Amino acid sequence: MSMEGLVAVVTGSSRGIGKGIANIFGEQGARVAVVARSEEEGGRLPGNIHLTVKEIQDAGGQAMAFRCDVTDEEQVEALAAAVVEAYGRIDVLVNNAGVQVNVGLLDLQTRHWDLTMRVNLRGPFLCCKYLAPIMVQQSSGSIINITSGAAERVRPNGISYSVTKAGLNMMTLGLAQELEEHDIAVNALNPGGIKTEGAVLVRPADFDWTGWESPEVVGEASAWLAIQNAKTFTGRVVDRAEFGKTWGV
């Protein structure tokens, strides 16, 4: 499996799952556009786009940092233009940026509901709206939406998050139909239990991490999806854990 020569845009790749995907893409030979809002250290969570780029480059890969708030239409439009200017094309889009506010629906602040909808649904919509047309011009490409098992089963205090992931799955299936004639694959990937900086932050110090895996394993499955097209594999919502059993990844 190789992504040699492909240009991949990964949102939310300053840390966590996005960073794991970006690193694996770099190892596979892709030129990676590392996209997130985080440019400097000092927030609640470690990591920023420049550190991710450095890691990819130190490992022998190619990457550039692009600061972008995926909920801002002008910034996403500018991102698409900037990536094309830098690399000449866009072959892969990973919609990974996401937020989760773990509060019961009746206690959830309206601004937190709106935030979850903006980042988890508006963000992927805007990225597809402005980056997919470039793939249409090329008659090739792959879009990967990072979803969650929460789309099918609501966890305590997780209704708003579940709503966004269920919506993202429907967006995936619908967009796959729209883009099939252009040979563009559109799939959603449920990573399963991944030990990220954010996951550690919201759990107690004695939490049992048995069975949880590193962000890089999501990169391996994403790399397989990245090289698919509308003829080989599209319009699917898949669990990462099933890859080894079903597709040998």
Residue 249: pLDDT over 60: no
Mean pLDDT along residues 85-111:
96
Residue 177 pLDDT:
98
The structure tokens 């889009």 sit at 93
- pLDDT at res. 246: 58
For residue 244, is pLDDT > 70? no
In a domain, residue 145? The reply is yes
**Is the confidence at residue 45, as pLDDT, over 60?**
yes
Task: Say if residue 133's pLDDT is above 70.
Answer: yes
Q: What is the mean pLDDT of residues 8-25?
A: 96
- The answer to whether the beta carbons of residues 95 and 143 sit under 8 Å apart is yes
Report the residue count for the chain: 249
CA distance linking residue 14 with residue 55, whole number of Å: 11
Q: Is residue 175 part of a domain?
A: yes
Distance CA 46, CA 197 (A): 7
**What's the CATH code of the domain at 42?**
3.40.50.720
Q: Identify whether 2 is part of a domain.
A: no
Averaged pLDDT score across all residues of the chain: 92
Average pLDDT estimate for 117-142: 98
Interatomic CA distance for residues 15 and 38, integer angstroms: 9
**Number of domains the chain is built from:** 1
49-58 vs 16-27: helix crossing angle, rounded to 10: 30
> What are the pLDDT digits (tens) for 146-197?
999 999 998 889 999 999 999 999 999 999 999 999 999 999 999 988 888 7
**How many angstroms separate the most distant Cα atoms in the chain?**
51
What range does the domain containing 80 cover?
7-246
φ, ψ dihedrals at 66, nearest 5°: -135, 110
pLDDT band (50, 70, 90) for residue 4:
very high
Tokens of 232: 């080989």
pLDDT at residue 225 tops 60: yes
Of 161, 189, 217, 238, catalytic: 161
Residue 1, domain member (yes or no): no
Is 87 noted as a catalytic residue in this protein?
A: no
* Residue 73 placed within a domain: yes
% of the chain beyond a pLDDT of 90: 78
At residue 202, the pLDDT reads 65
Here the tokens at position 147 are 């979803």
**Tokens 């699917």 identify what position?**
236
Confidence of residue 212 (pLDDT cuts 50, 70, 90): confident
**What pTM was computed for the model?**
0.94
What's the pLDDT score for residue 173? 98
Residue 214 lies in a domain: yes
CA 182-183-189 angle, to 5 degrees, is: 120
Output the pLDDT for position 197. 77
DSSP letters for the chain: ---TT-EEEEETTTSHHHHHHHHHHHHTT-EEEEEES--SS-SSS---HHHHHHHHHHTT-EEEEEE--TT-HHHHHHHHHHHHHHHS---EEEE---------GGGS-HHHHHHHHIIIIIHHHHHHHHHHHHHHHHT-EEEEEE--GGGTSPPTT-HHHHHHHHHHHHHHHHHHHHHGGGTEEEEEEE--SB--HHHHHTS-TT---TT-B-THHHHHHHHHHHT--TTTS-SEEEEGGGHHHHT--
Locate 98 and state its tokens: 């996401």
First to last CA, the chain: 9
204 pLDDT above the threshold of 80:
no
